[in-house]
């Protein structure tokens, strides 16, 4: 539509040419959207999810209590599983597939897809679809984890109720052709359930039991259940804490914030004021490797020839943006 084109054009001017180079702009904020008047439709609880999430978190507490009895190799393995699955989210469905902020060769995409199934956060297609609406309609009814609805809703609550109809309505208008054209993404979507059973739960639990005679109980509750639960919460903190606590050096008119603590757990994804201001930057921060293992990983992949075409925002554009819309906190930091 004419209006739509005008918005895209405005955003492009506003956002530097980098955004368009990726061949997609549906992760840029759309300021024309207005929430519908009147109260929200009543919450529809999904009891299956409420029960499963409660059981999972109880299981994680059991995992925590078993830590003193675990072998050191088992703890090291759990950390490795955490790192790999986290990269499947950060370098995979976030920076590559949601934002197209760099290019990855087939072997890297296969690795990231395996890592992504290990993280069990919905398949890549669904994750990226929800994430693009999160950016485009941030903190409105069309944002799946709308932080205006409070810490609990944006952290886990949104996974326990039916989606607001506007999420689906707006989501259906997104351009997802790049995801549909990626055979690896579509393959994972088709075999998602068995891939999760195998990679998120079976593989992490079988390795310590088989290779160093760890008890099967500890093998299941620490590298599988506890590691999975910590990965989920580290991710959810980006939606909750990093939308509430921290400075806003790049744009004080939006809620997402710079939260280094969240970045530590989320391998670099807590610099959320920067990320919502420049969603196409492959580093999700202006400061390279600082608290940002994912950027180091992508850089290593480029060095090995497995990735290329990293999108960055120039220092001049960043500085101009800080001066124009920032909260001034960069001067003291
Ligand atoms: C999980 C995801 O935890 C976490 C994502 C976090 C995102 C973080 C972002 C932050 C930045 C990056 C940080 C990374 C940090 C990493 C650190 C790592 C250490 N557009 O969904 P349904 C349509 S998952 C368009 O069932 P309901 C579509 O047709 C945890 N269309 O809606 C769909 O059918 P299909 C494990 C859309 O019924 C149909 O509607 N997973 C859109 O309202 C039905 O969709 C779970 O717990 C859209 N956006 O149910 C499962 N959405 O999909 C949780 C929907 O076939 N999910 N449609 O095309 C569910 O059970 C359900 O989704 C529900 C809503 C109950 C929540
Ligand atoms: Zn966000
Ligand atoms: Zn994002």
Residue 30 located in a structural domain: no
Residue 115 located in a structural domain: yes
Residue 163 located in a structural domain: yes
**Rounded-to-integer distance, Cα 281 and Cα 101, Å:** 6
pLDDT band at 23 (very low <50, low <70, confident <90, very high): confident
Decide if pLDDT at 12 tops 60. Answer: no
Among 189, 229, 278, residue whose Cα is nearest residue 55? 229
For residue 1, the model assigns a pLDDT of 45
Coil, strand or helix: which one is 258?
Answer: strand
**Separation of CA 17 and ligand 1 centre (Å):** 30
Decide if pLDDT at 14 tops 70. Answer: no
**Rounded-to-integer distance, Cα 141 and Cα 137, Å:** 8
- Mean pLDDT across the stretch 117-135? 98
Enclosing domain of residue 129:
43-248
Ligand with minimal distance to 166 CA? 1
- Mean pLDDT across the stretch 199-224? 98
Total structural domains in the chain? 1
Ligand 1 contact via 43 beta carbon (within 6 Å): no
- Give the least confident one: 44-58, 188-202, 309-323: 309-323
Best residue among 147, 179, 186, 235 to mutate for probing ligand 1's pocket (most ligand atoms within 8 Å of CB) is: 235
Taking the CA of residue 267 as reference, the ligand 1 atom at the shortest distance is 17
Cβ atoms 117, 188 nearer than 8 A: yes
**Rounded-to-integer distance, Cα 235 and Cα 116, Å:** 13
pLDDT tens-digit series, residues 31-81: 888 888 888 899 999 999 999 999 999 999 999 999 999 999 999 999 999
For residue 39, the model assigns a pLDDT of 87
Is ipTM beyond 0.90?
A: yes
Decide if pLDDT at 95 tops 70. Answer: yes
Ligand with minimal distance to 229 CA? 1
pLDDT band at 24 (very low <50, low <70, confident <90, very high): confident
Residue 3 located in a structural domain: no
- Mean pLDDT across the stretch 154-164? 98
What letter would DSSP give residue 148? Answer: G
Query: Per residue in 46-77, is it b (16+ CB within 10 Å) or e — as a string?
Result: eeeeeeebeeeeebbeebeebeeebbeebeeb
For residue 330, the model assigns a pLDDT of 78
pLDDT tens-digit series, residues 242-298: 999 999 999 999 999 999 999 999 999 999 999 999 999 999 999 999 999 999 999
Sequence-ordered alpha helix ranges (H) in the chain: 2-15, 18-21, 47-66, 72-87, 106-119, 124-136, 151-155, 165-171, 177-180, 183-190, 192-196, 203-212, 216-219, 227-239, 260-265, 272-277, 293-303, 315-325, 329-332
Ligand 1 contact via 103 beta carbon (within 6 Å): no
Residue of minimum CA distance from atom 38 in ligand 1:
162
Taking the CA of residue 158 as reference, the ligand 1 atom at the shortest distance is 67
Cβ atoms 78, 227 nearer than 8 A: yes
């Amino acid at each position: 539509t004419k209006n739509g084109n005008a918005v895209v054009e405005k955003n492009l001017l506003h956002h530097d040419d980098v955004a368009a180079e990726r061949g997609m702009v549906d992760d840029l904020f759309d300021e024309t959207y207005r929430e519908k008047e009147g109260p929200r439709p009543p919450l529809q609880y999904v009891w299956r999810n409420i029960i499963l999430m409660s059981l999972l978190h109880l299981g994680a507490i059991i995992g925590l209590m078993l830590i003193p009895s675990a072998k050191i190799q088992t703890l090291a393995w759990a950390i490795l599983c955490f790192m790999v699955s986290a990269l499947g989210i950060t370098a995979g469905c976030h920076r590559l597939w949601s934002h197209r902020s760099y290019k990855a060769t087939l072997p890297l995409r296969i690795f990231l897809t395996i890592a992504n199934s290990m993280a069990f956060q919905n398949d890549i297609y669904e994750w990226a679809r929800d994430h693009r609406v999160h950016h485009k309609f941030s903190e409105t009814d069309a944002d799946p984890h709308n932080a205006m609805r409070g810490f609990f809703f944006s952290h886990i609550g949104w996974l326990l109720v039916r989606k607001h109809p506007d999420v689906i309505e707006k989501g259906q208008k997104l351009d997802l052709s790049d995801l549909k054209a990626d055979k690896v993404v579509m393959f994972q979507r088709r075999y998602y359930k068995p891939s999760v059973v195998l990679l998120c739960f079976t593989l992490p639990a079988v390795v310590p039991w088989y290779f160093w005679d760890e008890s099967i109980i500890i093998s299941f509750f620490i590298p599988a259940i506890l590691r999975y639960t910590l990965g989920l919460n580290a991710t959810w903190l980006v939606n909750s804490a990093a939308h509430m606590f921290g400075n806003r050096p790049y744009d004080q008119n939006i809620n997402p914030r710079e939260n280094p603590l969240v970045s530590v757990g989320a391998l670099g994804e807590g610099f959320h004021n920067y990320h919502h201001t420049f969603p196409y930057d492959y580093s999700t921060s202006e400061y390279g490797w600082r608290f940002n293992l994912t950027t180091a990983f992508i850089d290593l992949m480029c060095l090995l020839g497995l990735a290329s075409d990293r999108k960055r925002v120039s220092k001049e554009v960043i500085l101009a943006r800080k001066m124009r819309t920032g909260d001034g906190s960069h001067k003291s930091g």
